Amino acid sequence: MRDAGITERGRDPPRQRQSGFSPVSVYTHAVAPMRLLAGTRLGPYEVLAPIGAGGMGEVYRASDTRLGREVAVKILPAACSSDTDRLRRFEQEARAAGMLNHPNILAIYDIGAHEGSPYVVSELLEGETLRERLAGGMPLQVRKATEYAIQLARGLGAAHQKGIVHRDLKPENIFLTELYLVEGLN
């Protein structure tokens, strides 16, 4: 769950980024003490439970009360909200990811703000990261590794067609679900 440095080509020159969550993180870090409690409302989203936290945000399982589905809500910590560079990066990455619609890319549903802190709402993924799968001790079969590589290439291709570049591709940022490999674009 690191900052992927998602950029729109021609908008922001590549540069080193700090570690942390980005709007579309695949949320696998251990849950640290987090500030939102179950029942907290962020517009139409009701927090159900914490999922994880990192340098760029906190991620929660939430209920979308309008559509009756569970979602992931990532909120930028209040301390980061006053950092104009982080805030700009957070919003830019949310908008860039929101332009994408592909089965191998995490879907962004909404953006908003809660008590001055911006948040991003995305689909809720169930599964594990590629890093977690590899750490299980069993090597990937060639066929499965090839399948993952093809799906990853399809997701990256869709992003590149929209002028979006993922600059932090690594096993922690690749999420595996039962149906798809989801390239987290985080």
Give just the sign of the alpha carbon dihedral 110, 101, 88, 2.
positive
Run of H or E residues at 43: none
Q: Retrieve residue 37's tokens.
A: 């409690």
Closest Cα to residue 119, out of 109, 128, 127?
A: 109
Closest Cα to residue 35, out of 82, 80, 90, 99?
A: 80
Q: How far is CA 94 from CA 6, 34, 59, 179, in A?
A: 9, 21, 14, 24
Which residues contact residue 71 at a Cβ distance below 8 angstroms, ignoring those fewer than 6 apart? Answer: 45, 61, 62, 63, 64, 109, 121, 122, 123, 124
Which one of the listed residues 64, 83, 110, 168 is annotated catalytic? 168
Active site residue 168: yes
Catalytic residue ranges: 168
